[in-house]
Chain A
Amino acid sequence: MLRYLYRTTGNRQTAEDLFQETFRRVHEKANSFNGNNFRSWLYAIATNLAINEFRKRKRRPEISLEHIAESKNAKCENGNCQFVETLTANEKTEPGAQILREELKTRVWAAVNSLPAKQRLTLVMAYYQQMKYSEIADVLGCSTGAVKTHMFRALKHLRRVLPDGPGGAL
């Protein structure tokens, strides 16, 4: 769930806030659960919170932290984030590869974040969370066809803007 919120909002702090709020609401609304599909119900709550967050951002734009600073290698204290070297065994042998990978992540994030809200949510649920389109339709409260349309548009957009690979095309 935190992964989902993180990938939709692109901000760790926001994702954590929404994560907390999601479970608070789940608990609060436990009696309203209809017993059909818990995951869809859970995601619906989280997604609504995410959409509200997007709206807030539209009204009050804020600069999100760089993805690198948000990654596992970042250590944040009092809002100041510092890049911390935590190389894995493989990365130790190829420090250059790690730098290229971090750069790639940043560019992919930029591409995903450039998608409209519903397309982004659809992409994250379908691609990263491996949810069925019908499940996503339940979450978003729309038809499966509409979900597929969101997905198709998202992919068309990403086809253009996604980077080629680590370090870019040679």
Chain B
Amino acid sequence: MTTQIQLQEGIKISSAIAETAQRKWQDYFSFNTDHKVIGIQYLVTSFIFYLIGGLLGTAVRTELATPDPDFVSPEVYNSLFTVHATIMIFLWIIPAGAGLANYLVPLMIGAKDMAFPRLNALAFWLIPISGILLLSSFFVGAPQAGWTSYPPLSLISGKAGEEIWILSILLLGTSSILGAVNFFVTIIKMRTPGMGFNQMPLFCWAMLATSALILTATPVLAAALIMLSFDLLTGTNFFNPAGGGDPIVYQHMFWFYSHPAVYIMILPFFGVLSEVIPVHARKPIFGYKALAYSSLAIAFLGLIVWAHHMFTSGTPGWLRMFFMIATMIIAVPTGIKIFSWLATMWGGKIQLTSAMQFAMGFISIFVLGGITGIMLASVPFDIHVHDTYFVVAHLHYVLFGGAVFGIYAALYHWFPKMTGRMLNEPWGSVHFILSYVGFNLTFLPMHILGIQGMPRRVAMYDPKFADLNMLCTIGSYLLAVSTLPFIVNVIWSWMYGSKAGDNPWKGLTLEWMTTSPPPIENFKTTPVLATGPYDYGSNKSDNQSDTTPHSKP
């Protein structure tokens, strides 16, 4: 532990530098190239879009409170869920993951910044631009073809809105690719000397896998959207059967990206869990290598299962069987993750902090979402529930219960590092309980709705489904309310929260070895590894020292 203490002292000496390195608020509104500024820019921007997307989701639920299309017109309803999903996926989860990674990856690997700081800033600034572009479509008739935007419907349901949608997705895709280039190069090339791949924190492994997926899959979406754009604007017939084109080709290209996209949206938060759980359970992560390589396995498998979204579409029987089996295999590496996390907690000294609550909530909810995913992969059953509320339930279980809970866990865990102040813990628990209850109230009944016969993307439905829908709507209001304690907590704590100190959770990864918030180039001296990232409880981490008060007798 000596080296680490030296490091800490080094930082105390450098605290003078840290003081002058305090960021001014203007920095956050400028083309700043510091990865920490950019990380916070990403996080705040994407959270604002989350509120907008959530507002649209709440509007969707309000419409569905009763069977009649009485709150908005059916056209507007279609725009609501289209923009809701587009914002949630492209402007909330994906940028939030990129934001966290921006803040954490250089710190965790002991680098001063990302490999290409200006590219990094550019990638960020594309996001608010395309977000505003997308929202502006409400003035000309927002896109109505769902976030999947299948032709031929997308070619005839409003040109202007659809083209704006395409442009903003192209910009967001570009942003995502530029970010991935940066992460990939940074993680491979800029680890502090002595940090081999197998000494790397698992969050970095997750980002490596995510970046590889982005680099492989996102460009194919760009190709599809370019072709869709030509069909829309110039009258070519790539996807238009009226002119001999093939709408199924679009579906293949779309899902070649959008299935991997779901892993782009979950892998970073798998990484977050692997960081949060050992710290708050005070126990080494269980099965480091298995966790690291399962991220790669998921990324690879994720590339060869896309047609499970097309089991009732233009796919022949044998193809359906192939994709069914490939899809199911993903349960294995994902199961390894779940069980490793559980084994990490088992026998630990768990502190039920807000971060840990969200991490455990993640596992609790994601498991159900994953299991319904396996059911969906089974072709005979998927034929029944495809395009129903069962799928809507599945996707919110993994996306909300997984990705969003993961983001919250990360924010509660790293907020002290980012701001130097603690979030209020009791209010964090209130936030967690409201979210957990509201979430299940909103989305659990949707499983039943789907199996019983309610299709998705409908503004009006059979009155026999009215009761369960009302329940979902009430749940969604509770869910909306649950964000309020969080927002207030963040704003209040950022200004007046109690001082965090450098390492409030006694973590062992490198980001905790510098000040909170870290100085401009992160570390005074190049950090040196004294322990592995998760060596809790071992005699190597000398607990008697005052840097780690959790002393072992």
A and B interact physically: no
A-contacting residues of B (Cβ < 8 Å)? none
B-contacting residues of A (Cβ < 8 Å)? none
